[in-house]
Amino acid sequence: MSEVKRRIVVPGERLPPNVVVREREHEYVYEEEGVKYATVIGLLDERGENPVFVPLQSIYIPKPGDVIIGLVQSIGIMNWYVDINSPYVAILTAQDYLGRPYNPQIDDLSRYLPVGSYVKVKVLAFDRTRNPLLTVRGEEGLGRITKGKIVEVDPAKIPRVIGRKGSMLQMLKEETGCSIFAAVNGRIHINCPNPEIEPILVLAIKMIEEQAHTSGLTDRVKKYISELKVIRGVK
Amino acid sequence: MGKVSMKLINEEGLRHDGRRPDEMRPVTMEVGVLSNSDGSALVSFGRTRVLAAVYGPREPPQRYMILPDRALLRVRYHMAPFSTSERKSPAPSRREIELSKVIREALEDIVLTHLYPRTSIDIFIEVLQADGGTRTAAVTAASLALADAGIPMKALVAGVAVGKIEGVLVLDVDEIEDGSGEADMPVAAAPDIGKITLFQLNGVLTREEIERGLDMALNAIQKLVEMEKEVLRKKYTFNV
């Protein structure tokens, strides 16, 4: 059975020496004297050529270039403090967002981005000695999110929501007709032309999060969506 | 307090609650018991019941607390007012402050704090019912809660105390044995990486007794860590 080849490992458990870890998840494997250990609870998949270790939970650490979804937490004099689902609170400067010089005496930042608004931003700089700096420049579609819904999942599950070569995301888009953006910090922005299909998509994403480690998930999610559509009478 | 006159080891060599000297109290472990925290665990050693909740890594509440090269590990060990037979004042006592430090040091070498500089990882430990061995139960619960929170750590830790009563070394001392025994030696360790992270001794033991007691404790810790692993695996094993 395939179950024997896939097992849950816990912190302190030895991993095979040729274990493969996904990008930006290297901190979840600890090496001492040539022996590799898992540092968090994860899944070890030994079916392929090389065993793969996938953590079941992860903590989002910003990397310059990441396009993420932030939530405005508070407003400073010249900047916004943005919650990016990470241990570090990010900074978005007024000058960057407005694209012009900003004078706090005559202008009010809460007019542009009040506390509680979501922004699609890019990480400009982060080096662990300073908090991450965000920007809305340099890429299409960055800025305040005014329509749709944000679904939060664990950052470790985002690769599964996207799927191999984007297969899962493609299927979700085709089945629901919504636009979906899955950010690496675990926030997914969905925007549906048909408001009735929105809750179905949310349920489907939650299903992916819960069953991320299982195989044949794309087909099951597809079936689940069509079943929900019938039950709810959505076309 | 004066010595209790009851015999703590009977003629058959059994302890006051019927345990053999090298026998632990029944241990139960549960993870993910609280939904507001990032990770949590409830551990009981016989009548001792300890709840641990972990938050973080997150921004420290005060900027002056920031450590530039690693995460700040904050531990608060607290006994609930109803945890003892006589009401305990809820204000943190000298003993609780000291135990918070001891438990923090037992976990500091295990948690990979260097991965998250300038953040804080907060561990709250609440003793719900105290019947001896609360610090070792607290270390065990905190270790489980950290794993549940997904905080990278080198290995799982567990703790147990060895005591000496009426000249006999006994494992996992309870309140009565602790109060009238000759010595109490709490130990916590991470067997996977072969490290002892907490070692205290209250009372007098000979060198040979310490060695024997340590062996007893480490054997028990090995079993406790296996149990922790089992509990964690069970929580995350799905049957799809």
User: What CATH number is associated with residue A161?
Assistant: 3.30.1370.10
Touching A: B residues 12-51, CB under 8 Å: none
Output the average pLDDT for chain A.
92
Mean pLDDT of all residues in B119-130: 97
Domain end residue (candidates: A129, A144, A159): A144
Across the interface, whether the CB atoms of B116 and A10 are under 8 A apart is answered no
With 80 as the cut, is the pLDDT of residue B68 above it? Answer: yes
**Mean pLDDT in residue range B102-111:** 96
Mean pLDDT for chain B?
Answer: 94
Res B239: pLDDT: 45
Convert the pLDDT of each residue in B2-44 to its tens digit.
454 578 889 899 999 999 999 999 999 999 999 999 999 999 9
Question: Per the CB < 8 Å rule, is B238 touching A211?
Answer: yes
Which CATH number covers residue A17? 2.40.50.100
Mark whether A226 and A203 lie in a shared domain: yes
pTM score of the predicted model: 0.92
**Residue of chain B minimizing CA distance to A14:** B192
* Nearest one of B84, B108, B103, B111 to B178, comparing CA atoms: B84
Question: Using one digit for the tens of pLDDT, what is the confidence trace for B215-234?
Answer: 999 999 999 999 999 999 99
Same domain, A95 and A170: no
Which run of H or E residues covers position B39?
strand B39-45
- Measured CA to CA, the distance from residue A99 to residue B187 in angstroms comes to 60
Picking from A127, A144, A161, the residue at the C-terminal end of a domain is: A144
What percent of chain A is modeled with pLDDT above 90? 80
In a domain, A39, yes or no: yes
Answer CATH for B27-234 from 3.40.50.2300, 3.30.230.70, 3.40.47.10, 1.10.10.10 = 3.30.230.70
d(CA A10, CA B153): 10
Our CA-based measurement puts residue B27 at a distance from the nearest CA of chain A, in whole angstroms, of 20
Distance from CA of A91 to the nearest CA of B (A): 14
Query: Do A140 and A154 belong to one domain?
Result: no
Please give the average per-residue pLDDT across A212-228, as a whole number: 91
Residue A61 within a domain: no
**Same-domain check for residues A159 and A228:** yes
Same domain, A49 and A100: no
Nearest Cβ partner of A40 from B68, B152, B237?
B152
- The CATH number given to whatever domain includes residue A135 is 2.40.50.140
pLDDT tens figures, B131-180: 999 999 999 999 999 999 999 999 999 999 999 999 999 999 999 999 88
* Residue A135 placed within a domain: yes
User: How many Å from the N-terminal Cα to the C-terminal Cα in chain A?
Assistant: 39
- Nearest beta carbon to residue A11 from set B56, B57, B155: B155
Closest A-chain CA to B237: A8
> Count of domains in chain A?
3
Question: Interhelix angle for A217-232 vs A167-176, to 10°?
Answer: 10
Taking the C-alpha atoms of residue A232 and residue B122, their distance in angstroms, rounded to an integer, is: 44
| Arithmetic mean of pLDDT, B56-75 | 94
Q: Confirm whether A36 is domain-assigned.
A: yes
Cβ-nearest to B154 among A30, A58, A89: A30
Residue B51 has a pLDDT of 98
Average pLDDT over residues B105-122: 96
Minimal Cα–Cα distance from A49 to chain B, Å?
A: 24
Q: Is a pLDDT exceeding 60 seen at residue A3? A: no
Nearest by CB to B236, from A30, A39, A41: name it.
Answer: A41
Query: Do A181 and A206 reside in the same domain of the chain?
Result: yes
B114 touches chain A (CB under 8 A): no
Max Cα distance, chain A (Å): 69
pLDDT at A186: 96
Whole-number pLDDT of residue A129: 86
Domain stops at, among A97, A128, A144: A144
- CA neighbours closer than 13 Å in the CB half-sphere of residue B215: 6
**Average of pLDDT values for B202-206?**
95
Under an 8 A CB cutoff, do B233 and A10 touch? Answer: yes
Is the CB of B151 less than 8 angstroms away from the CB of A12?
Answer: no
Sequence-distant (6+) residues with CB within 8 A of A6 are A43, A44, A45, A46, A47, A213
- Quick one: tokens of B108? 């500091």
Q: Are residues A41 and A71 in the same domain?
A: no
Instruction: Give yes or no for a contact between B165 and B182, defined as CB atoms under 8 angstroms apart.
Output: yes
Distance from CA of B177 to the nearest CA of A (A): 33
Q: Is residue A30 in some structural domain? A: yes
Please check whether residues A140 and A158 belong to one and the same domain.
no
Residues A192 and A227 in one domain: yes
**Inter-chain residue contact B153 with A13, CB threshold 8 Å:** no
A55 and B68 in contact by Cβ < 8 A? Answer: no
Q: Number of Cβ pairs closer than 8 Å across A and B?
A: 85
| pLDDT at res. A89 | 95
Q: Tell me the pLDDT band of A234, cut-offs 50, 70 and 90.
A: confident
pLDDT score at A128: 79
Domain that holds residue A36: 6-55
Per-residue confidence at A4, pLDDT binned at 50, 70, 90?
low
CA distances from B14 to A54, B18, B90, B93, B158 (A): 48, 5, 36, 35, 25
Residue B102 pLDDT greater than 90, yes or no: yes
Q: Give the nearest chain A residue to B114 (CA atoms).
A: A27
B219 to chain A, closest Cα gap in Å: 17
Q: Confirm if A165 and A171 have CB atoms less than 8 A apart.
A: no
Query: B156, A11: Cβ pair inside 8 Å?
Result: yes
Does the pLDDT at position A1 exceed 50? no
- Tens of pLDDT, residue by residue over A54-78, are 999 999 999 999 999 999 999 999 9
* Residues on chain A touching B153 (C-beta within 8 angstroms): 11-12, 39-40
